[in-house]
Structure 1
Amino acid sequence: MSHIQRFPSAAKAASTNPLKMSQPLGAALAYLGIDRCLPLFHGSQGCTAFGLVLLVRHFREAIPLQTTAMDQVSTILGGYENLEQAIRTIVERNKPAMIGVATTGVTETKGEDMGGQYTLFRQRNPDMADTALVFANTPDFAGGFEDGFAAAVTAMVERLVEPSPVRIPTQVNVLAGCHLSPGDVEELRDVIEGFGLSPIMLPDLSLSMSGRQPTDFTATSLGGVTVEQIRAMGASAATIVVGEHMRVAGNALELKTDVPSHFFSRLTGLEATDKLVRLLMELSGKPAPARLRRQREALVDAMLDGHFFYSRKRIAVALEPDLLYAVTGFLTDMGAEVVAAVSPTQSPVLERLKAATIMVGDHSDVETLARDADLIVSNSHGRQGAARIGVPLHRMGLPMFDRLGAGLRVQVGYRGTRELLCGIGNLFLAREMDHSHHESGESHGCGGGSCGCNAV
Structure 2
Amino acid sequence: MGTIQRFPHSAKAAATNPLKMSQPLGAALAFLGVDRCMPLFHGSQGCTAFGLVLLVRHFREAIPLQTTAMDQVSTILGGYENLEQAVRTIHERNAPALIGVATTGVTETKGEDMAGQYSLFRQRNPALAGLKLVFANTPDFSGGFEDGFSAAVTGIVEEVVQPSETTVKGQINVLAGCHLSPGDVEELRDIIESFGLSPIFLPDLSLSMSGRQPDDFTATSLGGVTVEQIASMGASELTLVVGEHMRVAAAALELKTDVRSVFFDRLTGLEASDRLVRTLSELSGRPVPAKLRRQRETLVDGMLDGHFFYSRKRIAVALEPDLLYAVTSFLADMGAEVIAAVSPTQTAVLEKLKAATVMVGDHSDVETLARDADLIVSNSHGRQGAARIGVPLHRMGLPMFDRLGAGLKVHVGYRGTRELLFEIGNLFLSREMDHDEHGHAHGHPHGDGHEHGQHCGSGSCGCSAG
TM-score of the pair, normalised by structure 1 = 0.95
CA distance in 1 between counterparts of 2:164 and 2:413 reads: 31
Q: What residue identity is the alignment partner of 1:5?
A: P
Structure 1 residues 96-107: aligned runs within 5 Å: 96-107=96-107
Q: In structure 1, what is the equivalent of residue 14 of structure 2? A: 14
CA positional deviation for 1:169: 2.2
* 1:145-201 per-position Cα deviation (integer Å, ceiling 9, x unaligned): 000000000000011101000011200000000000000000001100000000000
CA distance in 2 between counterparts of 1:432 and 1:2 reads: 39
Q: What residue identity is the alignment partner of 1:144?
A: G
CA positional deviation for 1:11: 1.8
Q: In structure 2, what is the equivalent of residue 4 of structure 1? A: 7
Structure 1 residues 8-407: aligned runs within 5 Å: 11-407=11-407
CA distance in 1 between counterparts of 2:401 and 2:298 reads: 31
Report sequence identity in percent: 83
SS of alignment partner, residue 237 of structure 2 = strand
CA positional deviation for 1:281: 0.8
Can you give the 5+ residue segments of structure 1 that lack an aligned partner in the other structure?
441-456
CA positional deviation for 1:26: 0.1
Matched residue count: 437
Q: Is the 8 A contact 2:6 2:346 kept in 1?
A: no
CA distance in 2 between counterparts of 1:333 and 1:314 reads: 14
- Bigger CA radius of gyration: 2
CA distance in 2 between counterparts of 1:214 and 1:400 reads: 24
Q: Is the 8 A contact 2:5 2:351 kept in 1?
A: no
CA distance in 2 between counterparts of 1:324 and 1:59 reads: 21
CA distance in 1 between counterparts of 2:259 and 2:169 reads: 11
* 1:127-151 per-position Cα deviation (integer Å, ceiling 9, x unaligned): 1122211000000001000000000
SS of alignment partner, residue 234 of structure 2 = helix
CA distance in 2 between counterparts of 1:349 and 1:412 reads: 18
CA distance in 1 between counterparts of 2:30 and 2:116 reads: 23
SS of alignment partner, residue 206 of structure 2 = helix
CA positional deviation for 1:2: 4.1
CA distance in 1 between counterparts of 2:36 and 2:215 reads: 15
CA positional deviation for 1:439: 4.9
CA distance in 1 between counterparts of 2:339 and 2:410 reads: 25
SS of alignment partner, residue 195 of structure 2 = coil
* 1:101-145 per-position Cα deviation (integer Å, ceiling 9, x unaligned): 000000001111111111111111111122211000000001000
SS of alignment partner, residue 164 of structure 2 = coil
CA distance in 2 between counterparts of 1:119 and 1:276 reads: 41
CA distance in 2 between counterparts of 1:218 and 1:25 reads: 21
Q: In structure 1, what is the equivalent of residue 458 of structure 2? A: none
TM-score of the pair, normalised by structure 2 = 0.93
Q: In structure 1, what is the equivalent of residue 463 of structure 2? A: none
Q: What residue identity is the alignment partner of 1:31?
A: F
CA distance in 2 between counterparts of 1:107 and 1:260 reads: 36
Q: Is the 8 A contact 2:319 2:397 kept in 1?
A: yes
Q: Is the 8 A contact 2:32 2:39 kept in 1?
A: yes
